[in-house]
Amino acid sequence: MLPTEENHVPPRYRYEQIADDLAERIASGEFQPGSKLPSRRELIEHYGVTEPVIDRAMQVLRIKGMTETLPGVGVFVAE
């Protein structure tokens, strides 16, 4: 079946996939409220992406109110 406007799902950007994965991990309790997320470097290595992709994913989580960023300290799960 060929895609039509009604059933066409646009491709998702990698940062969206990463933000969704991290959001699911937060929701499942893998990352508890108040806990620090892995470092940018660890996330880059884990997901095999560049720094701007991780930064954009972190921005999505912050906008959704799921995380809080403390400059120079890290990203924490919102309480």
* CATH number of the CATH domain containing 53: 1.10.10.10
Domain assignment present for 46? yes
Domain assignment present for 5? no
Where helices occur in the chain by DSSP H, the ranges are 14-27, 40-47, 51-63
Residue range 21-52, pLDDT digits in tens: 999 999 999 999 999 999 999 999 999 999 99
- pLDDT at position 68 over 60: yes
User: Which pLDDT score, from 0 to 100, does residue 1 have?
Assistant: 47
pTM (predicted TM-score) = 0.84
The domain tally of the chain equals 1
Question: Which domain does 55 fall in, by range?
Answer: 29-77
- Calculate the average pLDDT of the chain: 92
User: Which pLDDT score, from 0 to 100, does residue 10 have?
Assistant: 74
pLDDT band at 5 (very low <50, low <70, confident <90, very high): low
Two structure tokens written together for 50: 């560049």
Packing angle, helices 51-63 and 14-27, rounded to 10: 50
